[in-house]
Amino acid sequence: MSEPQLLRLVSDRRYEQALRHLETHPEEVTARDGNNKTALRKIYQEVNPSPIAVDLAQAMCELRPELLVEDMENNQSLLHEAVAKSRSGAPRSTGLALVLISADPAIVSIRNKHCGFTPFHTACDADADIVVLRAMLEVNPDLAAAMAQNSKTPMDILLRKNGWNISGTAMDKVALILLTNFKGRVMDPLPMHHMVHAVCCYPRPLTFLTRIMKTFPEQTHQRDDEGLMPLHHAVKHVGQWDDPENPFVYSNFVFQKLMKLVRAAPEALSTLDPSDGIYPVLSSATRANDTTIHLSVTYQLLLAAPEIMLHAISNDDNRVEAQNDDNTEGRACSMS
């Protein structure tokens, strides 16, 4: 049995004829060749597709968008295939990726069945254009910190791919990932003045926390929109910094990084958290039942500033005294 005409035209790269043929034979979009490839998959495997090929792919996607999430090959979706080629400076491959995201946004969350990579992980590994990264995060901001089966985050993958360089376009991508995770959505423009705050909230940031601090040293002293300093965020999220497979090694690493924050901005130790009115050491202590790392962090913060407990006790006494005064005045008023 011969292949449908659409498949033959695409195989021969006769895209203009394929586009005209598609208008009269839309049912051939779902046809597969002897290797189980659809015409759309063939286009997405092109290294440098022509503009008309992008138009043809868009027409196919608009015809049957529900099929995009089902077209899997070698455990990868069409979007995995597309973003692997959508490198900076390859606008047509970038265009193919954007076509898929627009046709069926759910495709951004499909994982490679072998390694657990989302298309976002693959895009970071392939140095995809930042336009593609932004488009995926606008659909699903949770991709910014999603972990693959090897527990690697998109940041791990991106920085290793760039040789741990965070300048130029790499910094733009780093900022997009960290700040989207921090804010829960893609911001435009990106709030670059919150980079240190953002890295403290990212899972397992130990390999790049110091680099971000050195790039934005003044931010360790600054408060974010909620009035929190980076140390406040670090204390709340330090449970995500640890590696459960190597608890002893990583615990020591966590303490080293946390104390760099303390040394960079020691005033943070005596700065109350506006959301609950307590110091970072007490914020850590309240979480000691959740993770063992918080118990150790509390001890380390106490060693760094033992006088904080005296301030905390004094503040508690003042609050109790003020409450008692209010109660006394209230009873006096009711009796009169």
- Residue 162's pLDDT is what? 81
pLDDT in tens, 200-228: 999 989 889 999 999 999 999 999 999 99
- Residue 263's pLDDT is what? 94
- Residue 240's pLDDT is what? 87
Distances (CA, A) of 298 to 269, 281, 305: 11, 5, 11
Instruction: Round to whole Å and give the CA distance between 116 and 324.
Output: 57
**Which residue positions in the chain have pLDDT lower than 70?**
1, 73-74, 86-92, 242-250, 310-336
Q: What is the pTM of this model?
A: 0.85
- CB burial class (10 A; 0-12, 13-18, 19+) of residue 305? middle
Q: Is the dihedral of CA 228, 233, 234, 239 positive or negative?
A: positive
- Residue 320's pLDDT is what? 43
Instruction: Tell me the sheet residues that pair with 162.
Output: none
Terminal alpha carbon distance of the chain? 101
φ, ψ of residue 92 to 5 degrees: the values are -75, -40
φ, ψ of residue 91 to 5 degrees: the values are -60, -35
Instruction: Round to whole Å and give the CA distance between 323 and 57.
Output: 69
- Residue 270's pLDDT is what? 92
pLDDT in tens, 247-260: 555 577 888 889 99
- Helix residue ranges per DSSP H, 67-151: 78-83, 91-103, 119-125, 130-139
Q: Please, are residues 138 and 186 in contact by the beta-carbon 8 Å criterion? A: yes
The type of residue at 211 is R
- Residue 93's pLDDT is what? 76
Instruction: Give the count of beta carbons closer than 10 Å to the beta carbon of residue 78.
Output: 31
DSSP state for residue 110 in the 8-state scheme: P
Q: Is the dihedral of CA 122, 124, 127, 129 positive or negative?
A: positive
